[in-house]
Every structure is written in C-alpha cells, then in structure tokens.
Structure 1
Amino acid sequence: MKNTKVLTPEQLDDAKRLKALYESKKKNLGITQQDIADALDITQGAVGHYLNGRNALNLSAALTFSRLLQVPVSDFSPSLAKEVDAASLPALDKNVTYAGPYEPKGRYPMLSWVSAGQWEEAMEPYSISEINEWYESDVPIQGTGFWLKVEGDSMTAPIGQSIPEGHSVLVDTGREAKNGSLVVAKLTDANEATFKKLVIDGGQRYLKGLNPSWPMTPINGNCRIIGVVVESKVRYV
C-alpha cells in the first residue's frame, strides 16, 4: 500500500493562503495553472497538489509562485519566508538569495548566429583566434559549449519563463534535447540558427517561441538540433 505523507497544519495553512492568492489574482495577471506548471517544469496536476494541500511547498516552488503571483513568500508561507531571509546576503534585498560560492567549470566563446548555424559534428565552426568574447559558466557542459546573444522577441513572454533580447544563452552541444528543452536549431532553408522551445506531442516535434504570439513550427527532417540551452544571463556593464 502506498504511504501518503500527511502535511502539517502549518503546511496546510500555507496551501490555503496560496490558493486564495492564486484565485484572487489569476484573472488580473492572466495566469493559469499551466503557466505555473511550465515555470516549475512540472505537470498541471502537480501544481494543483500544491494549491490543494496534497504536496507541501518547498522553497524553490514558493519562490516561483511568489514571482508569478507578484507577492512576497511571506504572504502565503511565513516559514518558507524565514528560509528566504536566512539564505539572503545581508547587503542585498530580501528577494535575492545567496546560491553559494561561484566555481566556474569553463570558459566558452560568444558566437554569431551564423556561426552557430554552420556547426558541424566533430568540427568547430570558428577559429579560436577570431573569438574576442569568452565568458565563464559554472554549469557542467556535456559536449562543446558556446554563448549566443538573444535577438528579437520570440522568446519574450509576458509571464513565466522569458528570455528577452539582449540576454546571453549558453548552448551545450552534447546534451540530449527533450520535450520542453530550450534549443538552438538550424532549419535547412535558413542560413542562421534559431532559438526556440522544443515541443514533442504525439510523436510530432515542434519549435515554439515563449512569446505566445509566435506560432509553433512543425519540424521533421528539415531541422537539426545544434544544442540545448543550459543557462541564460544578462550583463548591464
């Protein structure tokens, strides 16, 4: 018989407060349980378990709910808000948490979209001497890594996951692309690479922008996945 973990009264109260906030704000924010599921990379049913007190909130989920509902964690979970405070750097705002010491795993070149689109197996599409920009990352890379700068608004979303123009994304050419992966791909009829979300539905594969106004593009033999995006960041100086 499967054991069901019983939530504490405090955890149940957290769920009640969270559900009340979601119900009161979802219309004005234009947010759905599926939007939350996409941001958390879980199923819509799992989101319902959080809201209905079947699964206890953890800190990571609480921070995502906080961001999407535009409320502090303390509005629905005083106990998890204390964890946020405990993890925060003293000199920073309480919504900024300390993730530990930065330990770079490697340095990777910033390529142009044309160079990325010309990627061939077992062959670098660039000359090391021609690369002027190299940036570090602490993400473990399984293949060969390179950075690209996001152009256009196809990956800009009003809510949930969003990677606007100007952000830099790190591409791992050795990581397997799965349903929901953010990928850099090359269509046979294009000279440059493109950055989209990979959607696999009923055996059919699509490239989809995070911007809801961009339609999904079905792909088959006309597309080659160059790599999976594993990090996004933006510089202000």
Structure 2
Amino acid sequence: MDKWIALVKQKLRELGLSQEQLAERVGVTQGGVGHWLRGTRTPKIDMMNKVLVALGMPHLQVTLQIAPVTTIAERSAQYGPTGAEAEDDIASQYLLCFQYPVLAWAELDGPRPATSIVTEQTDYCAQGLAFWLRIEGDLMSATTGPSVPENMLILVDPGVPAAPGKLVIARQQGTAAMFRQLVEDGGQRYLRPLNPTYPKLLCGHDLEILGVVVRSHGVH
C-alpha cells in the first residue's frame, strides 16, 4: 500500500492535479481520496487500478497476493503478539505487484501493442512504459561475472537513464533491437556482450536506447 500511495502522490505532483480533481476522475469524494493517501483506509483493488488509469498509467496493474505466515513465531515477528484465536488462523500480508507485458523481440521494431495477453508481475514500479523480454541466444551468458542466460526474462524500463555499465536494449539504424551492456572506453561508447567470445559494437550517432534492464529472473 505504501508504494501505491507514494506513486499516486508523485503522479499528482507531476501532473499538477489536486486530490479533488483525482476524486472527480474516479467518481469518489475528495475525503475518500484523502483517506487513501494518508493510509487510514485501503481502496479495493479495482479502485486502485482505476486511479492508476486516471493518472495516465494504464500499463501498471496492481494485484494483491496472500503471503501465508505459517508459524506463531513468524506471525509475532510480522504483526506483534497475537491472541489464542489469532494463533488458530493463517496470518497473511498484502503485497503490491505491478504487471507488465511480455513482448516478442519483433514487436520492438514496430508500434507497441495496445494490450498484451501475456504479462509478468513484479514489485518494481517502473518510471516508463516497461516491458519484459525473453532472452534468445548466448550473447549475454558468461561463465564468470554477470550473466543473463537464454530463456531468462528481463524487465526493461525506458524511463531509466542509460549510463555506462548498464545493461540496455538498444538498436542502431538498420539493425534489430539487441541486448548488450553499455560500456565506455577511451571516450568511445560500445555495446558489449557479456559473453567474451562475441565482439563489442561501436556505438554510432544513431544509437537508440529502448530501455535499461532493471530486473531478470528465470523461467517458471
């Protein structure tokens, strides 16, 4: 809930909107919005998503997950002392997750689809229109150091500034989008595979960074 509140407050500031204007957009009272943003009341999950859409973030979808805490000791650590009745129940906590589309590499060379059937969730709150990609090939797989092997999913955030050392999705004129590490050497920038058996590519003036990789995980 704290992440959702912080995100909504941030977007209100960016858009120059008041709580009253947000309330009008989602069809509730200003007092109701005030309670949400103070954390004194929790809106239903469909209303949380409605607020995100009203603030221009339809790519963010919030879900609630139940995370069971199965022992009395764990419950006490999470929630403090519990009574006998509470000890008979399975404690749970609410987690906020964001869902982003899983795109095919070919979709990066054209307009982004309006909707995606396949999504993957994470607790990462993107700064841009983030998306997942599945790794193909072994160019970013290494025996030592950082490695992103084939079939892993990577989360790409176009809102994160690219800087040397970052893993990025990029393309140059006449080339398809590629996954590489942006590096700098002798005043020149290169796109470097993590697999040392492949050569690095000199960045041209037409280099386009599609996003910075901010998460990765294996296949379920």
Distance, in Å, in 2 between the alignment partners of 1:170 and 1:127 is 18
Alignment pair present for 1:116 and 2:108:
yes
C-alpha separation in 2, matches of 1:221 and 1:166: 31
SS of residue paired to 1:110: strand
Tell me: CA distance 1:186–1:136, structure 2 relative to 1, closer, same or farther (3 Å): same
Corresponding position of 1:33: none
Q: Do residues 199 (structure 1) and 183 (structure 2) align?
A: yes
TM-score using structure 2 length:
0.55
Provide, for residues 147-192 of structure 1, a one-character-per-residue CA deviation record: whole Å limited to 9, x for no partner: 00000000000111100000000000010011100000122112x3
What is the aligned counterpart of 1:171 among 122, 131, 156? 156
* Residues 1:162 and 2:147 aligned together: yes
Matched, 1:220 2:204: yes
Work out whether residues 186 and 194 of structure 1, in 8 Å CA contact, stay in contact via their aligned partners in 2. Answer: yes
Tell me which of 110, 125, 132 is aligned to 2:112: 125
Instruction: Give the 3-state SS of the residue equivalent to 1:205 in structure 2.
Output: strand
Question: Following the alignment from structure 1 to structure 2, what is the Cα–Cα distance between the partners of residues 102 and 171?
Answer: 25
Q: Secondary structure at the match of 1:115?
A: helix
Asked if 1:188 is matched to 2:180, the reply is: no
Contact map agreement 2:154 2:217 (CA 8 A) in 1: yes
Contact 2:156 2:212 in 1 (8 A): yes
| Partner in structure 1 of residue 217 of structure 2 | 233
- Structure-2 separation of matches of 1:204 and 1:105: 39
Q: Please say if residues 171 and 229 of structure 1, whose CA atoms lie closer than 8 Å, have aligned partners that are also in contact.
A: yes
Shift >3 Å, 4+ stretches = 101-105
Deviation at 1:102, TM superposition (A): 8.5
| Residue 194 to residue 102, structure 1, CA distance change in 2 (3 Å) | farther
TM-score, reference length from structure 1: 0.51
Which amino acid is 2:208 matched to? R
Q: Percent identity?
A: 39
Per-residue Cα deviation, 1:184-234 (whole angstroms, up to 9, x for no partner): 0122112x3110000022331100000011111001223200000000011
2:58 — aligned with what? none
Tell me the CA shift for residue 104 of structure 1.
4.1
In structure 2, distance between residues paired with 1:102 and 1:174: 27
Taking the aligned partners of 1:229 and 1:102, their CA distance within structure 2 comes to 27
User: Greater strand share, 1 or 2?
Assistant: 2
Any gaps of 5 or more consecutive residues in structure 1? 1-89, 91-100, 119-123
5+ unaligned residues in a row in structure 2: which ranges? 1-69, 71-92
Q: State the alpha-carbon separation in 1 of the partners of residues 169 and 96 from structure 2.
A: 23
Q: 1:134 to 1:211 in 2, by over 3 A?
A: same
Matches within 5 A, 1:86-165: 103-118=95-110, 125-128=112-115, 131-165=116-150
How many residue pairs were aligned? 130
Distance 1:235 1:103 in 2: 22
Structure 1 residue 105 displacement after superposition: 4.0
What secondary structure sits across from 2:103 in the alignment? coil
